[in-house]
Amino acid sequence: MTWRRERWSADHSLPIGVTKRAQVGERVRAGDIVAAGAILAGALRVRGARRLGVSPSDFDRELRMRVGADVVAGAVLARVGRRFPRSVTAPIDGRLLHVTVDGDLYIAPIVDRWTVRATLDGVISRSDDAVVEIEGEAWCLQGAAAYGPDAIGELTLGVEGRDADLAPARIDVRLGGRIIVAGARVSAEVITRAHACGVVGLVAGGVSPAGLRVVYGDAVTASGSPSRDERPTVLCIMGFGSGGLPQAVYEPFAALAGARAAIHTASARLFVFSTAAVGRPETPSPDLVRRDEGPVAAGPPDPAEAEPPEAEVEQEEPASER
Amino acid sequence: MTVSAGPEAPVEQIHIALARSLRVALLHGGEEASRLAVVQLALASGAEIVARIRATDRRSFVEAAQALRDAKPDVVVVQGGSKDEGDLAELLEALRLGCGAQRPMPRVFGLVDTSVAHALRLRADPFGFERFASASELIEALRGLRRGGDDGDAALRDALIEDAARALASTTGTSALAVDVTERSTSLVLARPDDRVQAAHLVPLGLGMGADHVVVRASLDNVRRWLPSPIDAPALLERMFNRARGPEGAATTGAAVLLEMALAREAIAHALRDVADAGYDVAAMRSAPSILVTGRLASFPKAGQSLLVLVDGLEPSAVSTVFREPDEGGAERIGMVVAVSLRRPAKIRIVRASGRSVAQVAPGTFGLVAIGDDVDVAVSGSGVRGHGRSGKLGLLVDARGRPLSLPERDGERIPAVARWHAALDAAATW
């Protein structure tokens, strides 16, 4: 287990019902939406080829809407003939979901929308209805297991030493939108409080399995539990229980603090998008500077003291563009 | 692995293939027979079942497609009759929607009639559809995929365990059960003298990488109840999760041995539940006159530990001779189990070449009688009688009753479990 800066790839599995997705070769940044779609309810099967009197193999030619398009009730989906036309119309508002081998159509009502965000700065290397894959360069730390949805945010050091634990009292809403390095161990209380305060992810040496069960349910296992639903995100680096971070792992956190980062839960990896030379911190972490100011671990700088967003963007160019 | 029940069998050198994990989704007809057929196929092939959908499933088309996409199967096994054809065709449409973009694409294996296969083959496009005439052919095909094309001299562990059970059945002329527990899998194979075999290889369910799955299925309290010392639940859970993170060698500390023993009991018990759910003959497994234990279960430092785990997990119901054969060693006969369920005290009559003896057995009795000969045993009033050779440890009389129930309270359960460990010299330092 060590920090490595090289070219990585990250798969992003897509649910059924994709509407649009980034195309191969497109450049994206972590946090960008790479796919969007609809959550669909029970689908209706509508007779297609048989209704038009054409063979299933010819039916595709007669379709007036592409598969995956949103349709309104009464919309013509397929049509043949001029003087005596025959047509297939949508019985409900929804999504034209699928064409069967028999030339029938499935139309499903839309009940909600979903989006999938990139977890890596880079270029789309694969894009289809099941997966969007991104390749890009970043600092990466391979963890043992990860739980919850992917998370993207600013990396913030939450503890003052590699053996320290993050106390629940040090988490507040000012940490919203960040990925917190939580030290040697996180408990269920820390996970739930961080989630309630808007923290997007926690990275820790060890995680209490009993705490994981409280948060993610009794079916959780040691191999992780990537999901898409609204839950906390936890990356466990060393194992389960209390795992003091090795110096070689902890020190780079200080160097990389403040950079954009992402937790890719399917591969249990932490990506950090920074050009900093890990091991030789160029600038001290803001947290270390502000150690005497109460819940600093938590403490993001005041807006007045913060660097202008433009400067930050310049500092964090996608590595692949360098 | 040596395949022999004799005291000095020739050792046959066999290379065991490193089988890869195979994820299978099962699509089956509405009838119970169809469900049993596909579950038995999956268990016999040692594949991991990642999705099961019945033709009459209440899930919507979209939900079925999403379930199949999330499952990411390597193979989809389809089984059903002609009246299930329409429903199975719809499930294959759900498979096209869910897994059409999966790379590599899943393969579809059908155990169906020719006419049904013809109809389903069209609907399985663009997946490769292969029809199999018999379950054994399909199992062999699935095992071939697990071997990953490595077809040299290497054999899968599953096949070796089945061979061992067959060899034992043919040597003893009675039904034989092989129980194998490894880091990631648990196997139960019942072989009969006429060469019929019922095999179940459950993955992931084991003592190392499958340990967390044992905890998920059995619950932490059910694993903890077998420990002869108190331990708080969070600490035990941490140990279980850390076991699951990587391969481990044989347990070296007393605590590790006791933990593995607890896990192995629940792994066997849950394997039995799956076997019962698949329609296999669990009663025949429990009453098999010969039982062979292998893998990590046979590698515990003391023979009594292997025997104790077996009787607690399997709950034999008759007179059985127990052998154990570790991966790195020869087979040995470790004991004979006489399991009886009593409501009142009874007499056990033991007849051997040097004479006969009669002893009193009270309900709840659990202990060894040190005899190393061929013996005939009969327990009055229980209908239990049998013949066997008692082996290294002797004859174990288990009158704890079936199903085996443990006291709820720690104050009663821990002394009872510690007593059982002591009775078989299976205790270890926690």
Instruction: Give the pLDDT confidence of B60-77 residue by residue, as tens digits.
Output: 999 999 999 999 999 999
Residue % of chain A over a pLDDT of 70: 86
pLDDT at B371: 84
Q: Which residues of A touch B93 (CB under 8 A)?
A: 98, 100-101, 106
Question: How far off is chain B from A34, nearest CA to CA, in Å?
Answer: 17
- What pLDDT does A308 receive? 43
Burial of B169 (0-12, 13-18, 19+ CB in 10 A): buried
Confidence class for position B390, pLDDT limits 50, 70, 90: confident
Per-residue pLDDT at B161 exceeds 50:
yes
Q: Which of A40, A106, A130 sits opposite B102 (nearest CB)?
A: A130
B45-61 as b/e: b if 16+ CB within 10 A: bbbbbbbbbbbebeeeb
**Chain A residues contacting B, CB < 8 Å?**
13, 15-17, 40-43, 45, 97-98, 100-101, 106, 108, 128-131, 144, 208-210, 213, 218-223, 239-241
Q: How far apart are CA B262 and CA A291, in angstroms?
A: 47
pLDDT recorded at residue B14: 63
Distance CA A201, CA A146 (A): 10
What is the band of B430 on the pLDDT scale with cuts at 50, 70, 90?
Answer: confident
Q: How much is the pLDDT for A301?
A: 43
Interchain CB distance below 8 Å, A209 and B102: no
Show residues of chain A in contact with B237, CB under 8 Å: 209-210, 213, 240
pLDDT of residue A285 exceeding 50: no
pLDDT of residue A317: 41
- The pLDDT value given to residue A322: 32
Span A46-62, average pLDDT: 93
The pLDDT score that the predictor gives to residue B299 is 93
Grade residue B246 by pLDDT with cuts at 50, 70 and 90.
low
**Predicted ipTM?**
0.87
**% of chain A exceeding 90 in pLDDT:** 78
Length of chain A: 322
Which pLDDT does position A263 carry in this prediction?
98
Size of interface A-B (CB pairs under 8 A): 88
Chain B, window 76-135: residues with a beta carbon less than 8 angstroms from a chain A beta carbon: 93, 96-102, 122-123, 125
Average pLDDT, chain B: 91
Q: What is the pTM of this model?
A: 0.87
The answer to whether residue B3 scores a pLDDT higher than 60 is no
**Beta carbons of A16 and B122 less than 8 Å apart:** no
Q: Do A42 and B122 touch (CB under 8 A)?
A: no
CA nearest to B123 within chain A: A101
Contact: B242, A208; criterion CB under 8 Å: no
Kindly state the average pLDDT of the residues B366-378: 89
B245 touching A (Cβ < 8 Å)? yes
Structure tokens at B189: 């194979």
Q: What is the pLDDT of residue B249?
A: 66
Of the residues B59, B62, B63, the best mutation for testing chain A's interface (the one with the most A CB atoms within 10 Å of its CB) is B62
- Burial string for A104-124 (b: 16+ CB within 10 Å, else e) reads bbbbbebeeebebbbbbbbbb
Instruction: Provide mean pLDDT across the span B175-193.
Output: 96
Closest residue of chain B to A132, computed from CA coordinates: B101
Nearest to B245 among A43, A208, A222 (CB): A222
Return all residues near B20 (Cβ < 8 A) that are at least 6 apart: B146, B147, B148
Chosen from A105, A131, A240 to mutate, greatest number of chain B CBs within 10 A: A240
Share of chain B above pLDDT 90, in %: 79
Does B60 contact A at CB distance below 8 Å? Answer: yes
Buried b (16+ CB within 10 A) or exposed e, A86-100: eebbbebebbbbbbb
| DSSP assignment of B351-401 | EETTEEEEEEE-TT-EEEE---SEEEEEETTTTEEEEEE-TTT-EEEE-S-
Q: Using 50, 70 and 90 to split pLDDT, how confident is the model at A50?
A: very high
- When pLDDT is cut at 50, 70 and 90, the band that residue A319 belongs to is very low
Examine the pLDDT at A166 and tell me if it is beyond 90.
yes
Cβ within 8 Å of A, B 191-220 = 212-213, 216, 219
In chain A, residues with a C-beta closer than 8 Å to the C-beta of B240 are 209, 222
Q: What is the pLDDT of residue B428?
A: 85
- Determine the pLDDT at residue B225: 96
**Does the pLDDT of residue B352 top 50, yes or no?**
yes
| Cβ contact, residue pair B237, A222, below 8 Å | no
Q: Is the CB of B331 inside 8 Å of chain A's CB atoms?
A: no
Phi, psi (5° rounding) for residue A299?
-75, 105
Residues in chain B closer than 8 A to A223 (CB atoms): 212, 244
